[in-house]
Amino acid sequence: MINSVEAEYLTADRREELLQTIVAQQLGIVNQVNQEMVQYGILRREADSMQQLYDSLLVSLQEAGVSGTLRASNIRVVDRAEPENSPVRPRKALNLVLGLITGLTFGVGLAFFQEYMDNTIKSPDDVARYLHVPMIAAVPKNEALNGQSSYGHYGVEDNGPENGSKSIQQADFPVELISFTAPNSVMAEAYRSMRTSLLLSSADHPPKTVLVTSSLPSEGKTCTATNMAISLTQTGARVVLVDADMRKPRIHSIFALGATPGLSALLTGSVGIKEVLHEVSIPNLFVIPCGVIPPNPAELLMSQRFQKVLTSLREYFDYVIIDSPPLSHVTDGRILGRVTDTSLVVVKAWSTPRGAAEHSLSSLLNSRIHVSGVVLNNLDMRIKGYNSAYAGYSGYSGQYYAAKS
């Protein structure tokens, strides 16, 4: 039985080998048939393409034969076409005129659009038209008329500061001290004009306490307050300059006072008024810096102690000039305006928006604060004949200070 089973197994094994051989042969045949089918497809496509080419050539040959049998046309040329002496297009003259008209129209429209978009105060006419308050003075740019420096446009006096408790380097020529370092310059003359307008603004008596403020930061209110105080000292009056801008003070750096006690320490009762009153090298000018910036400036300015301090300053000084923060950011300016005789609003030409200036003036007037007028700062004197006008006035001032020296 074992031999029989083994013989059957061997027989089945040989049959399997034969079947595998037959299957392999059939697979080879199938692959060969597939390759031949692919080759047949390629040859068939080529045959179709050649048939199409043959048909098209045959059609063309037949058309040519038909055309050859046709009779010639009896059309003859009567007049040959001649080329134009000038090109039909482009029409340069017409395009030039159209471009000029389009450019002018676009330029005028752009100018009106820019004028519409620019809503800043630019000139004294804008002050009268939009703000409806007097213009106390127009201060020119720090740059010169005709491109020269405003300090030396009419010569800088070589008088310098006298020896005092605090020295000011004349070589630095800070614009905040131009009324002292260059008294016959264009800007100094503008600040003297502002002083005269301010003193004549009240019919009965000139204001003794003056608040200098602005609508927005960086409009020149500190520079205006400092030069106003200096120009008042030139009349022989004793003037104190108070830095009430306890948000971003600058007067201590202008006069190089350093870290000294100031108004904030005075209002908190830490020091007395004599300790915060600093005499600088400018004759008849005293300065009260801000000192340490307090966390509650508005509350300090609303206190009774500040009113007492202001009353004491009015007794010992002829004029009190107060520098305050911008009106559009905090309420300090309106608080100070209630305790001063008058206020000056500084407007920077080509920078201060009309809406901001109108809002600031309305807030002061609605609070029943007396406003003497507007100081137009950073005015370009090269427009509308301001250059020649100031040149004449500055000539007089130059002769005056030359004779005085």
For the residues 69-89, what does the mean pLDDT come to? 75
For the residues 213-236, what does the mean pLDDT come to? 95
Report the number of secondary-structure helices (H) and strands (E) in the chain: 14, 8
For the residues 298-305, what does the mean pLDDT come to? 93
Nearest to 179 by CA among 228, 139, 146: 228
> Which carries the bigger pLDDT value, residue 64 or residue 175?
175
Do the domain assignments include residue 50?
no
Q: Which span out of 66-70, 124-128, 267-271, 318-322 was modeled with the highest average pLDDT?
A: 318-322
CB neighbourhood size of 158 (10 A): 7
Q: Which domain holds residue 361?
A: 120-404
Nearest to 324 by CA among 333, 315, 316: 333
Do the domain assignments include residue 379?
yes
- The model's pLDDT over 81-100, given as tens digits with 9 standing for 90+, comes to 888 777 777 888 889 999 99
For the residues 299-323, what does the mean pLDDT come to? 95
Do the domain assignments include residue 16?
no
> Which carries the bigger pLDDT value, residue 92 or residue 333?
333
What CATH number has the domain bearing residue 265?
Answer: 3.40.50.300
Rounded to the nearest 10 degrees, the angle between the axes of helix 221-233 and helix 186-199 is 80
User: Are 327 and 215 a contacting pair, CB within 8 Å?
Assistant: yes
Do the domain assignments include residue 58?
no
- Calculate ∠ Cα 124-350-385, nearest 5°: 45
Do the domain assignments include residue 98?
no
Q: Is the dihedral of CA 216, 222, 225, 228 positive or negative?
A: negative
Q: What is the pLDDT of residue 110?
A: 92
Domain count, the chain: 1
> Which carries the bigger pLDDT value, residue 392 or residue 199?
199
Do the domain assignments include residue 300?
yes
User: Are 254 and 222 a contacting pair, CB within 8 Å?
Assistant: yes
Q: Read off the pLDDT band of 143 (50, 70, 90).
A: low
Q: What is the pLDDT of residue 173?
A: 62
Is pLDDT of 30 > 70?
yes
User: Are 211 and 342 a contacting pair, CB within 8 Å?
Assistant: yes
Do the domain assignments include residue 228?
yes
In the predicted model, what is the mean pLDDT of the chain? 84
Do the domain assignments include residue 33?
no
